A and B are shown apart, each in its own frame.
Chain A
């Protein structure tokens, strides 16, 4: 069991705001994610959850407010820089490189660690002897394979990513994200399109990722999954936080029932 590291804060969000025209997708948002937690972010469609992910990972610039990761301000860092600092994500609509194999897909994730800048990739290509490169390639291959074993995808390593069944594609996205060696992983609807049985397997998988020491923010509509594995739940509506607490508190919260869960939710 991974030890929860007391009050250490992995991600701190202060007064974060993002507008699209006159529409506030994220509005004066404030919250903290504790290191080692599985922290769920739920809310109606259009509440700003994916926009929040885009702000944290640097895909979109924030209009105002602050994002601090392990105490470091992230606002001005480019997306690639944030990956290097230890933030990784998956996508709501799966985004794999369709023509790469499963193994190559994970190696792409590792690449940012081995060649963190253009200069270093250039130097490697220009100066390093072929056998050094070959050795690095071997190291990448081996650690990619270890990750694929963790995700139960090792025997499919030579398959094309696009040929995998949907559930496997979702797992492969997680493997690629983990290959960047993150300390914070953002999962955007990992259970979408999975049946309840497949979702139950996700419980275990996400918990095991956390137990490797990765803090997780989980955006998900499958309430059974959210309530089962989350340490803490934040609820967004219209870009602002309307509730926060542990799963039990959230399920009873009238504002959350009104805005999101509905009366007759079956968990």
Chain B
């Protein structure tokens, strides 16, 4: 069953088209990994799904509803949250206020408080720092905050843009563990990563984007074993 279905998608910035005719499907409950070189259009695709960019053509449907013309906050309200590249936390606000901002589109304050507590239980280090200014958190803590903020919106589909960027190996492992946990809790995930090997290992399905087009797709394992993918994205030490 397809949760998100993208067909014939064209998108970009002003007159510059970055995505040409992208087709992509995400099944309910899966981790789908999208890999590709810098400049291939991965971030553009995530921004187009979450409504930050308007596509030039094509369709995006989420749970069989078209979301193409909807503004970002409506898309969050439908159940899609974006954890952006570089985390984009609100640096001058406290940890707890960042989490509250994640619930901006909701108005069930009792349940919001429960969901914030659930995030703090999931990431105890954030609980210890709930009144700390978010800009003073370490990189790994900021990434946890960005994930927590997305979760407070109660998404069914999460878009992750390079969650491992600039993080220490131990923290990267924790982030990937969190992705697996979220999947086990029934969330659906679209993951964009440069850390292609680890990202394909956790993936049920993967897509390779090259110059704005999907050029390969398959199970995570199939892509890990595909010579073209190994050569271009995994490096020679691909085991």
Contact = CB atoms under 8 A, between A and B. Distances in A.
Interface stretch (B7-15, B33-41, B65-73): B33-41
Interface string A246-267: 0000000000000111101110
19 contacts: A43-B168, A44-B170, A45-B140, A165-B39, A166-B39, A167-B37, A189-B166, A193-B38, A195-B38, A196-B196, A196-B197, A196-B233, A196-B238, A199-B235, A200-B235, A261-B169, A261-B170, A262-B173, A266-B197
What's the interface size class on A, roughly? Answer: 20 to 34
A180 to B, nearest CB: 25
Query: A-B pairs with the 3 shortest C-beta distances?
Result: A262-B170, A45-B139, A196-B235
B38 A194 contact: yes
A46 B139 CA distance: 7
Interface residues of B, number: 31
Contacts of B197: 196, 266
B169 A92 contact: no
A95 interface: no
B107 interface: no
Nearest to A226: B169
Interface of A: 43-46, 92, 165-167, 189, 192-200, 221, 223-224, 259-262, 264-266
A203 to B, nearest CB: 9
A197 B233 contact: yes
A199 B37 CA distance: 12
Nearest to B194: A195
Nearest to B139: A45
Contact of A45 (B35, B162, B168): B168
A44 B169 CA distance: 8
B122 interface: no
B138 A45 contact: yes
Given A194-B38, A195-B233, A265-B173, A260 B165 contact: no
Nearest to B176: A264
Given A92-B166, A196-B234, A265-B173, 7 more contacts: A45-B166, A45-B171, A189-B166, A193-B194, A195-B233, A197-B233, A221-B168
B237 interface: yes
B198 interface: yes
B164 to A, nearest CB: 9
Nearest to A265: B169
Contacts of A196: 194-197, 233-235, 237-238
B133 to A, nearest CB: 13
B236 interface: yes
Given A44-B138, A45-B138, A197-B234, A265 B170 contact: yes
